[in-house]
Amino acid sequence: MKMNRLLIAACLGLLPLALDAQMLDPALLTRPATDAWPTYNGDYSGRRFSTLTQINQSNVKGLTLEWEHRVTDVPGDGTIVGGKGSDPAPNSSTPPEIKATPLMVKGILYFSTPDNAWAVDARSGHQLWHYFWKTTGGIHIGNRGMGIYGNWLFFETPDNYLVSLEASTGKERWHVQIADVKQEYFSTPAPIVVGGHVIVGTGGDSLDVPGFLEAHDPETGALQWKWWSEPLKKGDAGSETWPDEYSMRHGGGMTWIPGTYDPELHLYYIGTGNPNPVESGRSREGANLYTCSIVALNVDTGKLVWYFQGSPHDTHDWDAAETPVLFDGAFEGKPRKMLAQAERNGYFFVLDRTNGENLVTAPLLKTLNWSKGVNSQGQPIGNSEKEATISGVLVSPASGGATNWPPPSFDPETNLFYVNTEASFSVFYLTDTDPHPEGYAGAEREIGSYGTELQAIDYKTGKAVWSHRFPSSGFPKGILTTAGHLLFTGDGSGHLIAFDPANGKILWHAGLAAEISNGPETFLLDGRQYLVVAAGDSLYAFTISQ
């Protein structure tokens, strides 16, 4: 209703000209992005598939660098300074790393790093404004980006504030606290705007606190609803999977990564983090719902509609926060509304997104050794002999996972799911033998890996149709597919690569100054298709030479 009121107000001339001119059409979020990239994954589905074809297999070799923009988190002349800290100084001794996928609306790119937000001209790479947040603390591990509602931007800070800025100027509108940094929460997700809700989550590793997701009013920042990823007391749904209230209230389950949304079902889907204590289940016998789960929430109320837990009673730090990708198609001869996730624990899952029914469970790695198989609900069955011990036990994958937060892609033309994976090994050691350990109760020594591999997975079987093993290792990279029959991703040597999504043939590559650090995106601007990707502290924009 609030978006409707805004639209009416704009028509009546009751809003500032900037808001009227920049008004984001919410319909853009329900279809593949073309002349905008208005949310973290381009649209609500999480497929990261573009219908644009101007850059295609016939001309991709003509793709050249149009501009490069390098950022610094040092406040300069004209920087807008806000925040709760005392000193507007750089918050890190290292260059900022752009893990955000920039939004692109009306020819302007909006993106963020921890404590910083920028607006950059998408045609030239010229900076329009820079906002700097004076932090009070928090772990500055990364920031996934921003959300937009009309002319209002939203991003989260490491010390757990949701900040709203004017898109046209970078001026702060308001900020509200999401969580207490003294409890060692720290916020990394990109806010997702659904109707009149700004949906935000948070992270946290060190101290045993419960995870949550919440929605805020875009006009005022007021809290609308809050969903906890664990039950809070005995008798609550899921409480039977924890031994007591203490373990529930210290149980983890962070909401690190933005989710996806089905406007027809009115459901928001998100993956939750691992339970605490980490790498030991000594004080939390049971499945530990709703950690390591894909959950479907009613977007207006935050009420849980269904869940699927991919790692019951996780003891290896394998969160399930990876993007849940939405698509429609045939399964066993019947049309289905589906959700697919490549999970950090080394499994690929396909669910019916209307009810959470498991359709496919398949291993991503041949080296996977922590489970005994799969139960009748499609859940992996953990092997207790692969839990951390004082003397150590060899496990694959390592805690970093078979994959991680960088986004996958689903191409509706090939009907393949694409994800970068790593077949890694670690020895897990139990380091805290207390009956009630806190924080990290285990440690690991990484032994090595077989390297990173791009997989093209048939969602009907969970098996790879083709794969490409990169000669150099590296953190799995984000992926973009397009109707130009192209797949863009990166390797561990600083290359941006275009593949044929049908067979994995390399069609083009470019060397960057660092490994790509976000998910590539593409959009049409002034009749030209751009490809934009981040690598370290720089954004790169490519187009076809004219």
| Catalytic residue list | 317
Q: What's the rounded Cα separation, in Å, for the pair 403 and 419? A: 8
Residue 14's φ and ψ, nearest 5 degrees, are -90, -5
Instruction: Find where tokens 């690569």 sit.
Output: 497
> Are 498 and 488 in contact, with CB atoms under 8 Å apart?
yes
Q: What's the rounded Cα separation, in Å, for the pair 480 and 454? A: 12
> Strand, helix or coil at 11?
helix
**Can you read off the two tokens belonging to residue 424?**
């890694």
Handedness of CA 286, 291, 295, 297 (dihedral sign): positive
Q: What's the rounded Cα separation, in Å, for the pair 532 and 546? A: 18
Handedness of CA 279, 280, 286, 290 (dihedral sign): negative
- Strand stretches in 124-258, DSSP E: 127-134, 147-149, 152-156, 161-166, 172-177, 192-194, 197-201, 212-216, 223-228
Q: What's the rounded Cα separation, in Å, for the pair 421 and 195? A: 34
Peptide bond preceding 277 in cis form (omega within 30 of 0): yes
| Spatial CA neighbour of 485 closest among 18, 57, 130 | 57
